[in-house]
């Protein structure tokens, strides 16, 4: 199979039927379309299945089979799409701080992208679960930047950057990173840890996210949340596997595997 992404199939997958070009409108528009249609999902680590990062496997899973994936899958596919269009793009790696103190020592377990366009640097990330960036950020510190959802900003100190969002009136850090280019082997190692290590939350929990216009959908095991722009979050505890499967298919647009193993795994998810 060719190592080039099938751009036409990808554009149909995310519902993009307009022109594409090496411009900010395409970059921002595809980022918003991607996170609205391709869900963040960790079904493979949950089921003990390998997470493949080759482009052919990513195309087959996320595009052809219309399934979801997590940060390495999402951003590697998006990187290939941008390169196919003609963008100059490179990958970065980050330490996740969402829900952690800003000085916490966390592993490098998240991928994001840097794009050079018209003499400026931009950051893009289509793989951060239910609080993913919806758009692109100019690589400029201390400036509030609008997105399709809440404002984001970047902080920089001693060559280390932090990405923050304004959530419920408070700036919260998603992750910290440097601008050092990252070789593919670093993603392979991080992906192996995230998808297999017993301490990884992706192994023992079901985590899903999708971000259509005006909403953020997220699920942690049996807890389903909807955050609408300008409104208080709505939380719902799902009753059973049947309701969980319905939400996975209806809200997260996921085709679900059949079989007793998947059913047992859903039954055994934490309910605390």
Catalytic residue list: 71, 110, 125
Edge to edge, the sheet with strand 170-177 lists 137-138, 120-124, 108-117, 88-96, 170-177, 160-167, 152-157
193 CB-contact burial (10 Å; exposed 0-12 / middle 13-18 / buried 19+): middle
Helical ranges in the chain per DSSP H: 7-13, 24-37, 43-47, 55-58, 71-85, 184-196, 201-204, 241-250, 260-267
Distance CA 74, CA 174 (A): 17
């Amino acid at each position: 199979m060719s190592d080039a992404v099938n751009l036409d199939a990808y554009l149909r997958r995310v519902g993009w039927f307009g022109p594409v070009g090496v411009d900010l409108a395409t970059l921002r528009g595809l980022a918003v379309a991607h996170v609205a249609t391709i869900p963040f999902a960790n079904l493979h680590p949950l089921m003990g299945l390998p997470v493949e990062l080759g482009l052919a496997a990513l195309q087959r899973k996320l595009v052809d089979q219309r399934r979801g994936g997590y940060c390495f899958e999402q951003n590697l596919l998006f990187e290939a799409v941008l390169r196919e269009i003609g963008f100059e793009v490179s990958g970065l790696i980050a330490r996740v701080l969402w829900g952690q103190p800003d000085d916490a020592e966390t592993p490098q377990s998240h991928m994001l992208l840097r794009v050079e366009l018209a003499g400026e640097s931009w950051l893009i990330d289509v793989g951060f679960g239910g609080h993913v960036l919806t758009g692109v950020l100019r690589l400029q510190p201390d400036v509030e930047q609008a997105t399709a959802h809440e404002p984001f900003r970047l902080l920089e100190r001693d060559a280390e950057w932090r990405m923050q969002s304004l959530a419920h009136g408070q700036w919260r850090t998603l992750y910290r990173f440097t601008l050092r280019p990252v070789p593919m082997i670093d993603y392979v190692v991080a992906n192996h840890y995230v998808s297999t290590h017993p301490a990884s939350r992706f192994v023992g929990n079901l985590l899903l996210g999708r971000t259509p216009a005006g909403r953020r959908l997220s699920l942690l095991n049996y807890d389903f949340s909807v955050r609408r722009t300008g409104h208080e979050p709505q939380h719902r505890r799902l009753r059973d596997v049947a309701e969980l499967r319905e939400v996975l298919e209806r809200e997260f647009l996921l085709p679900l595997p059949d079989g007793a193993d998947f059913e047992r795994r859903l039954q055994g998810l934490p309910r605390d």
